Amino acid sequence: MFKKIVQIPYYLWLALFVVIPLAMLFFQSFFNISGQFTFANYVTYFTAGTYLMMTWNSFLYAFIITFVTLLISYPTAYVLTKLKRKQLWLMLIILPTWVNLLLKAYAFIGIFGKFGTADNFLSFIGLGRPQILFTDASFIFVASYISIPFMIMPIFNALDELDENLTNASYDLGASKYQTFRRIILPLSMPGVRAGIQAVFIPSLSLFMLTRLIGGNKVITLGTAVEEHFLTTQNWGMGSTIAIILVVVMVIIMYFTREKEDKYEK
């Protein structure tokens, strides 16, 4: 009885901030800008080239951001586990997440903007003053930088919990460092990799603030479209439709990247 009472706040929070908002979005997605019930929003989304291109862009950017983040985070997390004060170094990596996302975005505007730090450095070494801000490269760089801690943490935890006896046994049996990594370390750290991919890929699908501030509206994603429909065109039905489709896609991604149970486990 006490256990059920303790769970009430959890279910209340889940209902108020997850179930009810999703139900309202789903309901609103069947109305056009005039308030009439229709299925046209879903038809438009799956037939209009503009929305299909936005969907492609969203997946492409999310994939690139996740790939770049993983490429940096896995070696970093592996090195961290070998350091003496690994918890201190991990905290220093996590520290930037305490800073508001908007503040970090404006900081990069100053760094990448005209006559900014990066611009002045390139000019100093004789490369002129190329356009850095409001490009795909700057958007991917900033999004990857912001996402790195969320990729490192689960990978670090998975590697840190790895039993050293397994790697030592691999070396004793004659395996090289590469073979040990490929057959022991990498497979056992995959739960952390999957968790990191979820933590980076899913939010990257719906980025909209960075596309405005760093991408300069040259980077168009589904998150940008949702913001545009809710705040500018006031077409809440179409905005809700895109949001619902994003939620469905995110659930599918979470399903395929979930930690699978061992078929031999009873």
Tell me the per-residue pLDDT of 17-35, one tens digit each, with 9 for 90 and over. 999 999 999 999 999 998 8
- Token pair for residue 79? 């090195």
Establish how many alpha carbons lie within 13 A of residue 130's alpha carbon, considering only the half-sphere containing its beta carbon.
Answer: 8
pLDDT tens-digit readout, 166-195:
988 998 888 888 999 999 999 999 999 999
pLDDT at residue 260, rounded to an integer: 66
pLDDT at residue 263 tops 50: no
State the distance between the two ends of the chain, measured CA to CA, in whole angstroms: 29
pTM for the model? 0.89
- Token pair for residue 258? 């979930």
Among residues 128, 124, 131, which one has the least CA distance to residue 214? 131
pLDDT at residue 60, rounded to an integer: 94
Alpha carbon dihedral 130, 134, 137, 143, in 10-degree steps, equals 140
Q: Are 212 and 221 in contact (CB under 8 A)?
A: no
Could you give the C-alpha distances from 188 to 157, 259, 261, in angstroms and in order?
11, 12, 13
pLDDT at residue 45 tops 90: yes
pLDDT at residue 208, rounded to an integer: 83
Q: What are the chain's domains?
A: 49-220 (1.10.3720.10)
pLDDT tens-digit readout, 216-257:
877 788 888 998 899 888 999 999 999 999 999 999 988 888
pLDDT tens-digit readout, 64-113:
999 999 999 999 999 999 888 898 999 999 998 898 888 999 999 999 98
User: Is the model more confident about 157 or about 259?
Assistant: 157
pLDDT at residue 29, rounded to an integer: 95
Mean local confidence (pLDDT), 115-138: 88
pLDDT at residue 129 tops 50: yes
Task: Return d(Cα 135, Cα 225) in angstroms, integer.
Answer: 19
pLDDT at residue 162 tops 60: yes
pLDDT at residue 50 tops 80: yes
pLDDT at residue 265, rounded to an integer: 44
Mean pLDDT of all residues in the chain?
89
pLDDT at residue 1 tops 60: yes
- Token pair for residue 156? 């670090």
Q: Which residue has the tokens 């990069």?
A: 108
User: Is the model more confident about 221 or about 264?
Assistant: 221
